[in-house]
Amino acid sequence: MQNGFFRAVACSPQVHIADVGSNVDEMLSMMSDVESLAPDLVVFPEMSLTAYTCGDLFHNSTLLEAAESGLRRLVNDMPASLPLCFVGMPVKAGDTLYNCAVAISRGRILGIVPKTFIPDYNEFYERRWFAPWRDAGIVETELAGQCGVPMGSALLFETGGVKVGAEICEDLWVPVPPSCGLSMAGAEVVANLSASDDVVGKYGYLRSLVAQQSARCVCGYVYASAGYGESSTDLCFDGKTIICDNGHTLEAGRRFERGNKFVAADIDVEALRRDRMHLTTYADCAASHAAQPKTVKATGTTGQRKELLRAVDPMPFVPADKDHLAERCEEIIHIQMSGLCRRIEATRCRSLVIGISGGLDSTLALLVAVRAFDSLGLDRKGITGITMSGFGTTDRTRGNAHTLMQELGISIREIPIAAAVSQHFADIGHDPAVHDVTYENSQARERTQILMDVANQTGGMVLGTGDLSELALGWATYNGDHMSMYGVNAGVPKTLVRHLVEYFARESASEREREALLDIIGTPISPELIPADEHGNITQKTEDLVGPYELHDFFLYYTLRYGFSPRRIFMLAEKAFEGRFGHDVIKKWLTTFFRRFFAQQFKRSCLPDGPKVGSVTLSPRGDWRMPSDASSAMWLRECESL
């Protein structure tokens, strides 16, 4: 394991039925091919030494002796840099034959894991040749000339500080697979040696099954199945190779191809360990149901790796698949709408007051509010949208705000704040030519006061518009736009807000509304607290001041979701944003993120209520509880050392 990543390879070699020598040649060739990847684990299919479709030949001494001889050659000739490999073969123990996964390392057989559940319903009636493993303990046996080889279903193999378990094909399909107990006993990666034939619809179900098992066990799962060359007498074998990580498919190989093929991926063991620690019910379940395993340490070490064999999504909050994105957007909108509906019913108010700036956040809040009113059968006129033009308001944002409100059919009010804020400057003795934090925050607080007072007038409540990214950075005026009666966007990061508004635009039946929404999406993000330039364009751009929201949302996700260190987040960011942001840029804004994230906790400690929409949220009552005076020194020192 390097940098918290465990590299696994799932192999599906060309199969030669009952020709052990040729099968060994194929596997040694594949081992040589993958050696340059410096893997921690290599997995071959079920019965990879003999082929799975040998039938009654499995009870022939010639084949069994050849399998042991082939294993001996494989162990002696395999590359020394491969610390742990699993191969499949028949193993005779006493008077019984077992279908086994054999763990090997250069010069040594590490252990034997027999198949626990033997099917008798498929075309091969496997129980005709093999017995299921019934012994809960570990026995020692002789195999390929090596004495004292541990054998049992409760075996774990440790390499590079990571524990690996194994199960075989059908074991995964039962209600409680052996990998459940192995994972709770400490296995962080599970290998499945399979010979799964293909029928219509089976592959999709299997991929889902593998992904779900990796999620249920909070583990990496490496699935390697037999492919071309197995008997076609009655069936076809497509050579499935799948690597999953905690519910996510990292790699899935092409099927129905001749020759040797493999997939390789880096499993994030550090993330798995964090989730197991964080999910306290996982430890509770392990205490009740874990097996009592024997752990065997593998020999050998992997070479150095040049790059990460794993895609790192630069926008982890936004699904990459467009169809899935539309589904996700609709679900998020329903969560926001449902939370708001419940709050409206609980407070028995029939009025909402929203400050509409012509920016993304207030637009999303308004669109959700309209959905909520429609769902409750309330008149949209009960929503009062207020534009509050100040010193930095541009015609573009003001125009979009009014167009949107008109198209949505809500009540519209325009209350300029320049005169009131100028009077306030005079009252406190502030020079309006000094565009400092007082100049900016006075406008934000004046707007909030107006919203609160109008809510009192209408017997309603103020709907907050601030999003998750702003809360993380503290990019809100304390007791200004920071405050409301309900923060409907509190769980939505900025990178996702844009896609939600775009989704509304696509769904809109009004061309005028759609045009306004698309222009809002294209408008630079700004609080508009500093006067526009001589051409009426926005001069105060948020991302110029605090950094790109793409980066900050990336930092936020890996800080909250996995608790990663600055160094690891930086490494992932370099991979995710390669070609877009360089070393110095990422370092600069990562430092800014941690400095602001710690310093602005006091604003999050008194947040209004708001619905959680994803796995990452900053509610002080739920998912994030941190002292407002916690020191950021260690995190900033690590940032500086990058």
Q: Give residue-wise pLDDT tens across range 551-574.
A: 999 999 999 999 999 999 999 999
State the catalytic residue, choosing from 11, 26, 35, 46.
46
Distance CA 176, CA 288 (A): 14
Token pair belonging to 489: 């966007």
Percent of the chain, pLDDT > 90? Answer: 80
pLDDT digits (tens, 9 = 90+) for 13-55: 999 999 999 999 999 999 999 999 999 999 999 999 999 999 8
pLDDT tier at 194, thresholds 50, 70, 90: very high
The answer to whether 22 and 56 are in contact (CB under 8 A) is no
Catalytic residue among 169, 180, 244, 329: 169
Quote the mean pLDDT of the chain: 92
CA angle in degrees (0–180, nearest 5) for 66-70-75: 150
| Extents of the domains making up the chain | 5-297, 322-543
pLDDT band at 234 (very low <50, low <70, confident <90, very high): confident
- Over residues 112-129, the pLDDT tens digits come to 999 999 987 655 678 889
47, 27 contact by CB (below 8 A): no
Examine the residue annotation and report whether 322 is marked as an active-site residue of this protein.
no
Task: Please give the span between the terminal C-alpha atoms of the chain, in angstroms, as a whole number.
Answer: 21
Of 35, 68, 100, 115, which residue is the catalytic one? Answer: 115
Which residues have C-beta within 8 Å of that of residue 4, sequence separation ≥ 6? 268, 269, 270, 271, 568
pLDDT at 283: 85
Give the model's pLDDT for residue 233: 80
Active site residue 46: yes
Q: Give per-residue pLDDT as tens, 604-622.
A: 999 999 999 998 899 999 8
Confidence of residue 528 (pLDDT cuts 50, 70, 90): low
User: Which of helix, strand or coil describes residue 312?
Assistant: coil
Q: Which of 10-19, 316-325, 339-348, 465-474 has the lowest mean pLDDT?
A: 316-325
Give the alpha-carbon dihedral of 137, 143, 149, 151, to 10 degrees.
Answer: -20
Architecture of domain 322-543: 3-Layer(aba) Sandwich (3.40)
Give me the phi and psi of 405, to 5 degrees please. -65, -40
Query: 5-297 has which fold?
Result: Nitrilase/N-carbamoyl-D-aminoacid amidohydrolase (3.60.110)
Q: Is the pLDDT of residue 535 over 70?
A: no
pLDDT tens digits, one per residue of 127-138:
889 999 988 789
Q: What is the per-residue pLDDT for 122? A: 58
The verdict on whether 169 is a catalytic residue reads: yes
